[in-house]
Amino acid sequence: MREIVVTTHSYDLGELPELGNRFLIGNGYMGVRGTLEEYDKEQLAAVNLAGIYDRCGDGWREPLNAPNPFSLRLYRREEDGSDRPLALPSAACDQHTQSLLVREGLHRRDTRFSCGVRWQVERLAHMEQVHLLALHAVATAKEAGQFCLKSTLDGDVWDIHGPHYREMSFPTASEHQHGVEAVTNEGDTVAVCCRWSLSTPHHSATAVAQRKQEAILDFELAAGQSASFTLIAAVYTSKDCKEPLQAARAAVLNAPEYDELLASHRACWAKLWERAHVQILGDDPAEEALNVSLYHLLSIAPRHASSLSVPARGLSGQTYKGAIFWDTEMFMLDFYLAVLPEVAKTLLRYRIDTLEGARAKAREYGLRGAFYAWESQEGGYDACSDYNVTDVFTGRPMRTYFRDKQVHITSAVVYGLWKYARWTGDDSLWREGGAEVLIEAARFYHSLLIKRVEKDDDELWNVIGPDEYHERVNNNAYTNEMARFVFEQTLEVCAQLKRDAPEAYKALAQKLSFEEELASFQQAAKRLKKPTIRPDGVMEQFDGYFALEDVTVDAVRARLKDPKEYWGGAYGVAAHTQVIKQADVITLLFMLRERYDAQTLRANYDYYLRRTEHGSSLSACMYALAACGIGRPEEAYPLFLKSARADLDGGGKQWAGLVYIGGTHPAAAGGAYLALLWGFLGLKIEGNQLKTEPRLPKKWRGVQCRLWYRGQAQTLSVQQP
């Protein structure tokens, strides 16, 4: 694989949030935002941790950012004895480059300050030893001078709904070492230890300020001379072990020198890329964009865990409460299945292990079975607020119904389990709790059914489909069909278990006493209301959708009184129109693609594409898939690129009022991979065999990639006919 380098010369403060996302490094345990070393919480610097959350007061519960060991500032001593910071954006500079080396998982900055000092820093989140972070910095002076380096372990972290640390102590202050132990409001501990070295003789002072521990290193450089500084840090939490501080200290003391860490980090990335890299012959920009997407998916994959999932904004911060959405199973899972099936299993185990939380949520709403969290944190706790949007006009929280009404979330979990079994041929998850999830999912949908005395159908009322702008609708086609899928899968897997693993089936039947319910699931699968389909094949998104005002997306946009105004909800500009936020019917036609013909796909693609705002990064890839499915790869191409470039281009919404909602977009990254695999390559599973039916854009000469199907490595090599 050739190196892909993402670069910017910008250090414009307005671009900082997006640069922090674009240049993110991570290893599944933590993500380090791509901010410069001199930045702190004001510039959204963060070391975001996977799977550990905290609530402060009445604020939203969100994931933790660890004390940041990468805070580093260089100063030049002036003749009057004062220290002038060589820090962006204030210090004058002649040249500045920030880069992400995608193949090697490295973040670099190279700044030539106008005073003649060059400042180069490289840093990594170790891909194998996931608790370790490392940094190597070089300062080179054109003219002789006195310098000072301040290396800070910065506990004054960026929080959206913090502060999350109620106590912080710095117990290991000693020369060449720092350490901090921070205790959260919920009683968890996060410990960070680091050791450093400077290549030139220096005087060192270590100071503890409030929530910061700082090493101040004075040194002198002759003209043309360089000093280099390395720092190795370890992060542990009370979720990892009983004594995180001791673990972090031991990890730092036992860690090898920077060069050795760099070599093992590179080797680990090389192995991952051997599996994941996709070659697109004839289109370097598309190849780069897709592999950058895959870089992000690899950087957040929980390879170190056996039951953990990936948040909707990856490890780029606290947006969306660091929670797991349907994004993982519906948009990202196929990449992990194809490239790292063990990770796919880890993601699904997370859902099996959070079944209790889903049961509790169902009970809370007076329902049976498992109602999975719309925004799932550990244990299946639903972090989604009843007031998830702030009205721009009144500044008041708006009642939203994502938590209560996006009942399709449970079907995403079932769909993920089904994909796992089908792709890997490994049915162990059914026996390890997956079948239990299915039964509880079927119970959940069954308890939601509405039966009208004068109608034969069963219905699902008062739901929100993937298109969040239309709240509390009846018989959303996507939701109904995915619920039917759940009933059918439950029946199928139960029959399979009874046949192939009678003991496991018996134990399950004893535990859940579900056998008498199977007939009612069968009935429900048959009687659940089918979508209304017009003679031309267009499927109505929900009851009454066709009667809504038929108007263009631009016309709706023109009605906004404020660019940040929410389009959905009770009074949203889109709510009474046919304009939708994101692919809805089209998502259904992809997910259950074996049930629909090309004519249906064509009619719905042509109808809904024009009415879709793509207000979610989950949307474009679904239309790319549909366009491929109807033999229009040229139309699919820009939609595919929109998904693949989501974090390269940024431009999505970053702020809602005072709340930061930006971050990386792993579902779009996963969606780009879906578009490649099931769209352009036309992958199909026929009788357990993989087949391709390529429909490549004209400029692509071919595509090559590897994937792991049913335990076997396969190389897909497809040429333009």
List contacts with ligand IFM (CB under 6 A): 312, 320, 325-327, 466, 468, 616, 618, 667
Q: Is 187 left (phi over 0), alpha (psi -120 to 50) or beta?
A: left
Using the structure block, give the residue that is written with the tokens 């992958």: 683
8 A C-beta contact, residue 19 and residue 34: yes
Q: How far apart are the first and last CA of the chain?
A: 25
8 A C-beta contact, residue 493 and residue 430: yes
Q: Which positions ≥6 away from 228 have C-beta within 8 Å?
A: 136, 137, 138, 139, 198, 199
For residue 89, cis peptide bond before it (omega within 30 degrees of 0): yes
Strands 165-169 and 458-459: unpaired
* Min dist. Cβ of residue 577 to ligand IFM (A): 18
Q: Give the total residue count for the chain.
A: 721
* Min dist. Cβ of residue 325 to ligand IFM (A): 4
Q: Which of 202, 219, 222 is nearest to 141 (CA)?
A: 222
Please tell me whether residue 681 adopts helix, strand or coil conformation. coil
CA atoms within 13 A on the CB side of 550: 7
* Min dist. Cβ of residue 582 to ligand IFM (A): 6
* Min dist. Cβ of residue 430 to ligand IFM (A): 26
8 A C-beta contact, residue 660 and residue 319: yes
Please tell me the distance from the alpha carbon of residue 212 to that of residue 195, in angstroms, as a whole number: 15
Strands 25-26 and 30-32: antiparallel
Q: Which positions ≥6 away from 138 have C-beta within 8 Å?
A: 118, 119, 120, 121, 226, 227, 228, 229
The smaller minimum CB distance to ligand IFM, of residues 481 and 517, is found at: 481
The smaller minimum CB distance to ligand IFM, of residues 341 and 380, is found at: 380
8 A C-beta contact, residue 69 and residue 232: no
Secondary structure of 312-371 in the HEC alphabet?
CCCCCCCHHHHCECCHHHHHHHHHHHHHCHHHHHHHHHHHHHCHHHHHHHHHHCCCCCCC
Please tell me the distance from the alpha carbon of residue 261 to that of residue 443, in angstroms, as a whole number: 51
* Min dist. Cβ of residue 5 to ligand IFM (A): 28
Please tell me the distance from the alpha carbon of residue 84 to that of residue 78, in angstroms, as a whole number: 7
* Min dist. Cβ of residue 620 to ligand IFM (A): 13
**Token representation of residue 510:** 């004893």
Q: Which is catalytic among the residues 104, 468, 471, 613?
A: 468
Q: What angle do CA 416, 422, 427 make, to 5 degrees?
A: 90
8 A C-beta contact, residue 654 and residue 18: yes
The smaller minimum CB distance to ligand IFM, of residues 618 and 639, is found at: 618
Q: What phi and psi, each to the nearest 5 degrees, are found at residue 12? A: -65, 125
Q: What phi and psi, each to the nearest 5 degrees, are found at residue 227? A: -125, 140
Please tell me the distance from the alpha carbon of residue 72 to that of residue 90, in angstroms, as a whole number: 15
Please tell me the distance from the alpha carbon of residue 496 to that of residue 173, in angstroms, as a whole number: 60
Per-residue buried b or exposed e for 158-173, using 16+ beta carbons within 10 Å of the residue's own CB: bbbbbbbbeebebebb
DSSP E strand boundaries for 475-618: none
**468 labelled catalytic:** yes
- With 0-12 CB in 10 A as exposed, 13-18 as middle and 19+ as buried, what is 208? middle
The smaller minimum CB distance to ligand IFM, of residues 194 and 407, is found at: 407
* Min dist. Cβ of residue 336 to ligand IFM (A): 17
The smaller minimum CB distance to ligand IFM, of residues 629 and 671, is found at: 671
DSSP 8-state code for residue 82: P
The smaller minimum CB distance to ligand IFM, of residues 230 and 617, is found at: 617
* Min dist. Cβ of residue 416 to ligand IFM (A): 14
CA distances from 55 to 11, 364, 448, 469, 618 (A): 33, 21, 32, 29, 28
The smaller minimum CB distance to ligand IFM, of residues 302 and 466, is found at: 466
* Min dist. Cβ of residue 668 to ligand IFM (A): 9
* Min dist. Cβ of residue 306 to ligand IFM (A): 25
* Min dist. Cβ of residue 667 to ligand IFM (A): 5
The smaller minimum CB distance to ligand IFM, of residues 147 and 325, is found at: 325
The smaller minimum CB distance to ligand IFM, of residues 669 and 681, is found at: 669
The smaller minimum CB distance to ligand IFM, of residues 551 and 656, is found at: 656
* Min dist. Cβ of residue 272 to ligand IFM (A): 24
**Residue type present at position 636:** A
Please tell me the distance from the alpha carbon of residue 523 to that of residue 513, in angstroms, as a whole number: 18
The smaller minimum CB distance to ligand IFM, of residues 269 and 326, is found at: 326
The smaller minimum CB distance to ligand IFM, of residues 72 and 646, is found at: 646
8 A C-beta contact, residue 234 and residue 131: yes
> Which residues are part of the catalytic machinery?
468
